[in-house]
Amino acid sequence: MPLVAGVDSSTQSCKLVIRDAESGVLVRQGRAPHPDGTEVDPAAWWSALGEAVSAAGGLADVGAISVAGQQHGMVCLDETGAVVRPALLWNDTRSAGAAADLVAEAGEGETGQRFWADAVGVVPVASLTVSKLRWLARHEPGNAARVAAVCLPHDWLTWRLAGAPGLAALSTDRSDASGTGYWSPASATYRRDLLEQAFGRMVTVPRVLGPVESAGRLDPAVLAGGPELPEVSLGPGAGDNAAAAFGVGAGPGDVVVSIGTSGTVCGVAEQPTADPTGIVAGFADVTGRYLPLVCTLNAARVLDAAAALLGVGLAELADLALSAPPGADGLVLVPYLAGERTPNRPDANGAVHGLTLRTATPAHLARAAVEGMLCALADGLDALVAQGVAVQRVILVGGGARSTAVRRVAPQIFGVPVVVPPPGEYVADGAARQAAWTALGGAQPPIWTVAAPRTYEADPVPAIRARYAQAREHVIDHGSTPAPPR
Ligand SMILES: Nc1ncnc2c1ncn2[C@@H]1O[C@H](COP(=O)(O)OP(=O)(O)O)[C@@H](O)[C@H]1O
Ligand SMILES: O=C(CO)[C@@H](O)[C@H](O)COP(=O)(O)O
């Protein structure tokens, strides 16, 4: 088994790495962008995957491939296997009302929340597949009637790589199944009753593979240059966050924070979690364990937006942020630019508080953007700790981890050392490592050496979080009607 490939089909792009199966050494890589928007035709992911494969020099010398992908996205297929409508992504908030309905149907207030947390480890919010299915049933009955199977982005890409061999061949893995809202990590079974309740009837769902179970073989006809391909085995794949935790080799005491389109905070746990507040999602990981996780809708794009607002690039934004004092003299940016999932405020907008003649500078705004985005994640870290996750250090990954300001400010806000591996594609790396494990077999995954990380330490500045906590409730929900003038 010379080489293996790992894919990260994420929100903004598709990244592919090719690594040596035994040592993990990076051999080559490729990437291609995804279209913008919160509903996307899966065909765009497929063509981006093809482009990424070509950019990486093809798969002719690769023995196994695994696909990790953005979680929760609803891919509906008809009985011929054709896509019924563009996929609704994890960050599409139109299903917020459907999520609230599903919780209310299970009982009033905390009773409903507790029911879902106990049943499937998660409380429905707009992001979850179960909420999207309910939305589809209520809002697009014509499309809903055509649905024969529902799967997730990584499931669909893996199935396409296998040559789309019929709906019965669809497969997924524990980590991604645990983000649907109708698969229980604790019992490792589908809650078909909950899917049926949400959608009105049962549809085909992918078989859930174990950590090293193969999803079949790559159909050589589906990729350019395919006919020359040797036999390539398909790994089970994963949700992107589980793949990242596996890619960086997170262990006890490690909390992985990813700053991509989403902001996520997660840790590997030996036992499943069931948080009735819904803040911590009780996901599964790729090794057979669990991955309690908090996810925000606003991370790297908050920095993109601040840079655009100030008319600077991302490097200059970081320099500006670092030139302002910690706490930005009281300027606070509440980063709910895309609505928010944690806290569950799908209709909220962002806000800036504390503008004065002193704080109305580009440097203060840049600092407030970095701090606000990180404070929302620090709230997630607290919630994870409340669920019993130990935190000795944070491992920072995702595109936003490239920002020097994020790296330096993060330990002030998280209050623990922040370890930043060299810039890389850790989701794709986790998928590649999974492909290697599936192909090589063995009770334990191959040990791959991760390049030396850099550790950032700083004295915590609790005042930043205290000020943020004051500000975060003072946002406007765009669905709400302003009070009439008096
Ligand atoms: N130096 C940088 N500073 C801040 N943000 C960055 C930097 N480099 C890349 N990014 C941001 O990272 C994001 C992409 O990160 P990525 O983890 O690939 O996202 P996703 O997995 O959601 O597709 C983009 O929004 C991009 O602007
Ligand atoms: O919804 C979640 C996790 O629950 C997100 O983390 C998605 O999985 C998207 O990830 P990125 O593309 O932002 O990395």
For residue 218, give the nearest of 485, 435, 16, 389 by alpha carbon: 435
Alpha carbon distance 255, 393 (integer Å): 6
Topology alike, domains 3-240 and 249-417+457-478: yes
Give the fold, CATH level 3, of 249-417+457-478.
Nucleotidyltransferase; domain 5 (3.30.420)
Does ligand 2 come within 6 angstroms of the Cβ of 262?
yes
Binning pLDDT at 50, 70 and 90, where does residue 398 land?
Answer: very high
Tokens 């908090």 correspond to 294
Query: Cβ(403)–Cβ(374) under 8 Å?
Result: no
Mean pLDDT for the chain overall: 96
Which residue has its alpha carbon closest to ligand 2 atom 2? 71
What values do phi and psi take at 67, rounded to 5?
-115, 125
**Residue 36: active-site member:** no
Ligand nearest to the CA of 401: 1
Does ligand 2 come within 6 angstroms of the Cβ of 10?
yes
Does ligand 1 come within 6 angstroms of the Cβ of 303?
yes
Q: Is residue 485's pLDDT more than 90?
A: no
Provide the annotated binding site for substrate: 71-72
Q: What's the rounded mean pLDDT across residues 213-232?
A: 82
- What is the 67 CA–ligand 1 centroid distance (Å)? 20
Count the alpha carbons within 13 Å of 61 in the hemisphere toward its beta carbon: 11
Binning pLDDT at 50, 70 and 90, where does residue 483 land?
Answer: low
DSSP string, 55-92: HTT-STTEEEEEEEE-SS-BEEE-TTS-B-SPEEPTT-
Q: pLDDT by residue (tens digit) across 112-143?
A: 999 999 999 999 999 999 999 999 999 999 99
Ligand nearest to the CA of 128: 2
Q: Is residue 269's pLDDT more than 80?
A: yes
In ligand 2, which atom is closest to the CA atom of 281? 4
User: Which CATH superfamily hosts domain 3-240?
Assistant: ATPase, nucleotide binding domain (3.30.420.40)
Does ligand 1 come within 6 angstroms of the Cβ of 38?
no
Q: What's the rounded mean pLDDT across residues 403-432?
A: 97
Alpha carbon distance 85, 76 (integer Å): 7
Query: Cβ(99)–Cβ(136) under 8 Å?
Result: no
- What is the 91 CA–ligand 2 centroid distance (Å)? 8
Other Cβ atoms less than 10 A from the Cβ of 390: the count is 12
Active-site hit among 101, 155, 240, 285: 240
Ligand nearest to the CA of 243: 2
Does ligand 1 come within 6 angstroms of the Cβ of 400?
yes
Residue ranges covered by each domain of the chain: 3-240, 249-417+457-478
- What is the 269 CA–ligand 2 centroid distance (Å)? 19
Please report the pLDDT score of residue 223 as a whole number: 81
Please report the pLDDT score of residue 451 as a whole number: 84
Please report the pLDDT score of residue 1 as a whole number: 56
